[in-house]
Amino acid sequence: MSGFLEELLGEKLVTGGGEEVDVHSLSARGISLLGLYFGCSLSAPCAQLSASLAAFYGRLRGDAAAGPGAGAGPGPGAGAAAEPEPRRRLEIVFVSSDQDQRQWQDFVRDMPWLALPYKEKHRKLKLWNKYRISNIPSLIFLDATTGKVVCRNGLLVIRDDPEGLEFPWGPKPFREVIAGPLLRNNGQSLESSSLEGSHVGVYFSAHWCPPCRSLTRVLVESYRKIKEAGQKFEIIFVSADRSEDSFKQYFSEMPWLAVPYTDEARRSRLNRLYGIQDSEDDGESEAAKQLIQPIAEKIIAKYKAKEEEAPLLFFVAGEDDMTDSLRDYTNLPEAAPLLTILDMSARAKYVMDVEEITPAIVEAFVNDFLAEKLKPEPI
């Protein structure tokens, strides 16, 4: 085991207190599951995860308190200790993207697990690339002996199994994970066991995701052709919608089955089984920015040429507390894609809910507002 771990992590790790720990000592401690926690001190979500992960880590390892360095290194006589209780075979290593050593030190100081040394920048980059980490925080679990990825979305593990009762969170058979009732959009229900002998596609999608909505239209046609050909084939929709109303609206467009929206545990287990990570804010926001930016620049330049202040400020709403508060305050629907112009001084809003946002639709919406052709709704 130590050979793989040393190749992956190098020879030394550090505790929150700055003490060095030999990587090969993890073998003597009987570590069987390795968690790689990718994050950064400047990220508020990472700070929130660190707090919940510390409590989770302490419960699993049976530590009296998950304080700095707790359980981070082998204690006296660890090599001769009895076989550790299964859940104590977990260790976590923090893999940072910090560019400032002092900020990194302040962040890892409160971590009860281990960290790659700050100077190991090249090794950190290799790990980020190896496991295709695209958003933070991310937590993946590896088999410490083989290096095989056991669970790609450890954040769901913390949420769904806070006591570690399902340790070591390895993949379960699809038949077991999907077991239970499935729905059609007409309200009909049938058991998953009825799909025995069929080819099954699992469709992870959401109403708020423009590329998903485009794909759904294409998928509906393909699905109908396959069914008309008499093939034993079914699709199961696993929703990542923000509300049950959005789920129902989106599911009404689909001729296949779905996991009930209220069955959050089963939806989460399917996400874990296939390594689905909800990166809605990253993908959706970036695409929206690229779409809106040229239009915003055009409008701003037009008014700047007249030495006038632009009448609009442009922004893309993400998944954060400020956006949630603004959505609640203005009573905006959960649906997306959604174009909105807010006139806070007049306590008015202008809303356009469309199947797909295109540059032409955005430009027409903005121009109609500037020409006072849009009908306001009260906030």
Residue 162 has pLDDT above 60, yes or no: yes
**Whole-number Å distance between alpha carbons of 160 and 155:** 9
Task: Tell me the pTM.
Answer: 0.59
Q: Are residues 142 and 206 in the same domain?
A: no
Q: Are residues 294 and 256 in the same domain?
A: no
**Whole-number Å distance between alpha carbons of 338 and 79:** 59
Residue 253 has pLDDT above 60, yes or no: yes
Q: Are residues 47 and 23 in the same domain?
A: yes
Q: Are residues 135 and 231 in the same domain?
A: no
Give the pLDDT confidence score for residue 335 in this predicted structure: 55
Q: Is residue 69 part of a domain?
A: no
Contact 33, 43 (CB under 8 A): no
CATH classification at residue 235:
3.40.30.10
Give the pLDDT confidence score for residue 355 in this predicted structure: 65
Q: Is residue 68 part of a domain?
A: no
pLDDT tens track for 271-290: 988 878 665 444 456 667 77
Residue 366 has pLDDT above 50, yes or no: yes
Give the pLDDT confidence score for residue 4 in this predicted structure: 84
Residue 328 has pLDDT above 80, yes or no: no
Give the pLDDT confidence score for residue 320 in this predicted structure: 55
Give the pLDDT confidence score for residue 87 in this predicted structure: 57
Q: Are residues 303 and 198 in the same domain?
A: no
* Structural domain for 144, as ranges: 1-63+87-160
Residue 376 has pLDDT above 60, yes or no: yes
* Strands 199-205, 33-39: pairing kind: unpaired
Give the pLDDT confidence score for residue 93 in this predicted structure: 97
Contact 35, 152 (CB under 8 A): no
pLDDT tens track for 178-231: 999 999 999 999 999 999 999 999 999 998 776 788 889 999 999 999 999 999
Q: How buried is 379 (Cβ within 10 angstroms: 0-12 exposed, 13-18 middle, 19+ buried)?
A: middle
**Whole-number Å distance between alpha carbons of 104 and 115:** 10
pLDDT tens track for 29-85: 889 899 999 999 988 889 999 999 999 999 888 764 344 344 444 443 344 444 456
Give the pLDDT confidence score for residue 327 in this predicted structure: 73
Q: Is residue 334 part of a domain?
A: yes
**Whole-number Å distance between alpha carbons of 179 and 268:** 13
Q: 156: part of which helix (H) or strand (E)?
A: helix 154-160
Contact 332, 242 (CB under 8 A): no
Q: Are residues 124 and 214 in the same domain?
A: no
Domain boundary among the residues 274, 290, 305 is at 274
Q: Are residues 115 and 197 in the same domain?
A: no
Domain count, the chain: 3
Give the pLDDT confidence score for residue 334 in this predicted structure: 60
Give the pLDDT confidence score for residue 318 in this predicted structure: 64
Q: Are residues 8 and 117 in the same domain?
A: yes
Q: Is residue 75 part of a domain?
A: no
Give the pLDDT confidence score for residue 282 in this predicted structure: 47
Q: Are residues 367 and 229 in the same domain?
A: no
Q: Are residues 267 and 286 in the same domain?
A: no
Q: Are residues 116 and 263 in the same domain?
A: no
Q: Are residues 236 and 356 in the same domain?
A: no
